[in-house]
């Protein structure tokens, strides 16, 4: 039981760290605000949630104490981080930041013209 | 250009209670774990600031009809009164006392007068932060 739990803890923490790295690469490599926001708000949320889950399980198997604050933190990040991404993206669109040159669809602009 | 804030407002309605609950947790855990009146008060005023971001200032005043300047005064009275209470018992100023009580639901609980002092700190921190933010927000 403990060994399986240890393996699972390592897996979640390492996957979370890898997803955070993917976020950083996405922020560097992607061309415009919206695609960068897509990378940042999705993979960073899941990465941080996985690291927090690993921490929760580690504290449980190490000392037997269940830290409900970490569970609350997971739920809180899951609720707020995509909304923060949405607000940044909408603020960028409303202040007239252009899409990437090769983009083919902008439904919101068509809808606003009506 | 027509926009609305419905996503921000809905998430604010849910997360507000989580933040308030966590600030109360930080306030009561301050004696044995990291936390206390200062950080609890800051987090409670952070929840009110989130409400101010999602709604306008008039609506927040209608939701929470609190005069934050009076709140500073009440908090200072709490802290000074806790200190002066020791004088009545013939001890030096700010001497705290504690006792163990058997409360109906909670069981054996230690009641400490430092909690009353911390309540004063909590109220003063909320009052000062919200006074600063509302004064800056209102001056056009």
Q: How confident is the model at residue B62 (pLDDT cuts 50, 70, 90)?
A: very high
Angstrom distance (rounded) from CA B66 to CA B84? 27
8-state DSSP, B64: S
The interaxial angle of helices A68-94 and A33-63, nearest 10 deg, is: 180
Residue entry with tokens 């899951």: A78
Angstrom distance (rounded) from CA B113 to CA B115? 5
The yes-or-no verdict on residue B47 having pLDDT over 90 is yes
A42-66 pLDDT, tens digit per residue, is 999 999 999 999 999 999 988 888 8
Q: How confident is the model at residue A80 (pLDDT cuts 50, 70, 90)?
A: very high
Q: Give the pLDDT of residue A97.
A: 87
Measure B80 CA to nearest chain A CA, in Å.
33
Measure B7 CA to nearest chain A CA, in Å.
7
The yes-or-no verdict on residue B139 having pLDDT over 80 is no
- Whether B10 is covered by a domain: the verdict is yes
Percent of chain A whose predicted confidence (pLDDT) is above 70: 99
Containing structural domain, residue B84: 6-138
Q: Give the pLDDT of residue B8.
A: 93
Residue entry with tokens 């804030």: B5
The full set of domain ranges for chain A reads 2-113
Angstrom distance (rounded) from CA A102 to CA B75? 59
Query: If you average pLDDT over every residue of chain B, what do you get?
Result: 90
Q: Give the pLDDT of residue A35.
A: 93
CA nearest A29: which of A15, A88, A38?
A38
Cross-chain Cβ contact A94/B14 below 8 Å: no
The yes-or-no verdict on residue B140 having pLDDT over 70 is no
Residue A104: CB atoms within 10 Å = 5
The yes-or-no verdict on residue A110 having pLDDT over 80 is yes
Q: What is the count of structural domains for chain B?
A: 1
pTM of the model: 0.86
Residues A20/A48, Cβ–Cβ less than 8 Å? yes
Angstrom distance (rounded) from CA B89 to CA B74? 23
- Whether B70 is covered by a domain: the verdict is yes
- Whether B1 is covered by a domain: the verdict is no
Residue entry with tokens 């209102």: B138
What residues in A contact B3, CB-CB < 8 Å?
90, 94
Number of alpha carbons in the 13 Å side-chain half-sphere of residue A32: 12
Query: If you average pLDDT over every residue of chain A, what do you get?
Result: 92
Residues B75/B122, Cβ–Cβ less than 8 Å? yes
Cross-chain Cβ contact A87/B8 below 8 Å: yes
CA nearest A79: which of B26, B52, B8, B55?
B8
Least CA distance to A95: which residue of chain B?
Answer: B1
CA B116 to chain CA centroid, nearest Å: 12
Q: Give the pLDDT of residue B77.
A: 95
Q: What ipTM was assigned to the predicted interfaces of this complex? A: 0.82
The yes-or-no verdict on residue B125 having pLDDT over 90 is yes
B102-118 pLDDT, tens digit per residue, is 878 777 878 888 899 99
Q: Give the pLDDT of residue B2.
A: 64
B19-41 pLDDT, tens digit per residue, is 999 999 999 998 889 999 999 99
Burial A84-96 (b: 16+ CB within 10 A, else e): bbeebbbebbeee
Cross-chain Cβ contact B22/A79 below 8 Å: no
Measure B115 CA to nearest chain A CA, in Å.
22
Q: How confident is the model at residue A1 (pLDDT cuts 50, 70, 90)?
A: low
């Amino acid at each position: 039981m403990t060994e399986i739990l240890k393996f699972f803890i390592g897996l979640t923490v390492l996957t979370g760290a890898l997803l955070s790295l993917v976020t950083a690469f996405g922020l560097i490599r992607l061309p415009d605000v919206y695609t960068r926001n897509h990378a940042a708000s999705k993979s960073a949320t899941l990465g941080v949630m996985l690291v927090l889950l690993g921490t929760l399980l580690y504290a449980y198997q190490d000392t037997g104490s269940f830290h409900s604050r970490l569970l609350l933190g997971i739920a809180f990040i899951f609720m707020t981080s995509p909304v923060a991404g949405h607000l940044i993206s909408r603020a960028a669109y409303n202040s007239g930041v252009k899409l990437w040159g090769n983009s083919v669809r902008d439904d919101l602009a068509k809808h606003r013209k009506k | 250009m027509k926009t609305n804030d419905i996503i921000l407002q809905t998430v604010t309605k849910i997360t507000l209670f989580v933040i308030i609950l966590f600030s109360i947790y930080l306030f009561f855990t301050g004696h044995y774990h990291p936390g206390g009146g200062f950080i609890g008060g800051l987090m409670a005023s952070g929840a009110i600031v989130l409400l101010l971001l999602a709604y306008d200032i008039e609506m927040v005043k209608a939701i929470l009809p609190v005069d934050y300047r009076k709140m500073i005064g009440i908090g200072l009275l709490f802290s000074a009164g806790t200190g002066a209470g020791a004088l009545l018992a013939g001890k030096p100023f700010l001497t705290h006392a504690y006792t163990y009580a058997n409360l109906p639901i909670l069981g054996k609980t230690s009641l400490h007068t430092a909690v009353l002092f911390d309540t004063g700190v909590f109220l003063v921190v909320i009052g000062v932060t919200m006074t600063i933010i509302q004064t800056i927000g209102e001056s056009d």
